[in-house]
A and B are shown apart, each in its own frame.
Chain A
């Protein structure tokens, strides 16, 4: 089963531009996490935001969480070609598995 949807499904931008990806989920959550996955590779954990947090920053990443709307967004600022990857949000309740969204494929061209 999948917890929610991400949009857009695919995003193409130029280097230096910002990329925004959105994620919606269906049930109440404990935390929400964002992951990156390069083609054919494993997951890279980017950031975790807890259900009582509204915004979190890590380097060029900014994540927001709106529990009233059951949605989150990931902003990558000043994108680079190396940011080209698939991005997934995943959420869970305490003690349960992470359930992943369908993902956004980001392509950054130089």
Chain B
């Protein structure tokens, strides 16, 4: 199956710093990638849709200036949490569908656990 990687897997940072999370499709091209956030004991919530070569689409309530998304190539999307605060501590997961797959099976990265002190 298709593989999606994320880096880093875990990051601890001080309040006020910015953190960049990378999502890569390793063996396929992804014109679209999705970013999710999961708080403890909760489900995954869609944050934004990352589109290669164009602006990301954010879900309601997600601040686009705080969560910067860049989809610079067909295999890489990055999520930057700017001026992170403790309430941004969460598990961030990306996914990507295979382009051309009519049923759009999506492949998930292993996630990045962000802890903001």
> Counting CB contacts under 8 A, is A95 at the interface?
yes
The reply to whether A94 and B95 contact each other, CB–CB distance below 8 Å, is: no
| CB-nearest residue of chain B to A90 | B44
Kindly identify which residue among B60, B104, B105, B108 contacts A43, using a CB–CB cutoff of 8 Å.
Answer: B108
- 15 pairs, CB–CB < 8 Å, chain A vs chain B: A31-B103, A40-B113, A41-B111, A42-B109, A42-B110, A43-B108, A92-B104, A94-B103, A94-B104, A97-B49, A97-B95, A98-B46, A100-B36, A100-B45, A101-B43
> Counting CB contacts under 8 A, is B93 at the interface?
yes
Complex: A94 Cα to B110 Cα, angstroms: 23
Complex: A58 Cα to B49 Cα, angstroms: 31
Q: Which residues of B contact A (CB under 8 A)?
A: 32, 34, 36, 42-46, 49, 59-60, 93, 95, 97, 102-111, 113
Q: Which residues of A contact B (CB under 8 A)?
A: 1-2, 30-31, 33, 35, 40-43, 45, 48, 50, 88, 90, 92, 94-103
Q: At the interface, is chain B mostly helix, strand, loop or mixed?
A: strand
| Contacting residues, chain B, for A35 (C-beta < 8 A) | 108
The reply to whether A100 and B104 contact each other, CB–CB distance below 8 Å, is: no
| Contacting residues, chain A, for B36 (C-beta < 8 A) | 100
The reply to whether B43 and A2 contact each other, CB–CB distance below 8 Å, is: yes
The reply to whether B43 and A31 contact each other, CB–CB distance below 8 Å, is: no
Given contacts A42-B93, A42-B111, A102-B43, contact A1 B59 (CB under 8 A): yes
